[in-house]
A = this chain, B = another copy of it.
């Protein structure tokens, strides 16, 4: 993606995630062009991408709105992410080099440091966490898998704010990561898959706590 559309993408994304625009509120391409300082052409490209990531949606008549993620939407997303990322972990267990495993350990030291300072540095945590998961996905050597996950991972994780994580939540994440590294070191794909599964499922519940209770019907498999 080239300079102007990249800028537009980042600016629009930041604008939406900052919360300065309510969910369900309409956006126009002109507005966004003004905000981002580029013309509508690259804005349209950026918007397309954000639609793909489901941060923005279009009405039946092509009008643009910021997406409203229900709890069920979030759960659906986590279920899919879990399915794909467990697969990635299993593959990664067979493919990670010693150097890559060492790099994961380093990332998790960074993450742990972010957790243990007081107060915990959530932004620093999130960045280390993102890098950790990304490294695993890369090591799975499955470009399409990476592409699919890219759509899923970023979108709502920040949307409903990350500020609801308790220090205990963060510590548990760090422990999960430690165990993942152990599974990788042992080259045990089943183990890695299992750890990743519980890791993400717990993340969902942590996340869901903040957004509200489940509906009583049709909440996934």
Tell me the A residues contacting B by CB distance below 8 Å.
Answer: 2, 41, 45, 48, 52, 54, 62, 73, 76-77, 79-80, 83-84, 87, 90-91, 94-95, 141-145, 147-148, 151-152, 189, 218, 220-221
A144→B77 contact, CB < 8 A:
yes
Q: Copies per complex?
A: 2
Q: Provide the main secondary structure of the chain A interface.
A: helix
What's the nearest-Cβ distance from chain B to residue A45, in Å?
7
Q: A2 to chain B: which residues have CB within 8 Å?
A: 62
A2 to B152, CA, bound (A): 26
Q: A144 to chain B: which residues have CB within 8 Å?
A: 54, 73, 76-77, 80, 152
B221→A189 contact, CB < 8 A:
yes
Q: A141 to chain B: which residues have CB within 8 Å?
A: 218
19 A–B contacts, CB within 8 A, in A order:
A2-B62, A41-B41, A45-B48, A52-B52, A76-B143, A76-B144, A79-B142, A80-B145, A83-B83, A83-B84, A87-B221, A91-B221, A94-B221, A141-B218, A142-B220, A144-B152, A147-B151, A148-B151, A189-B221
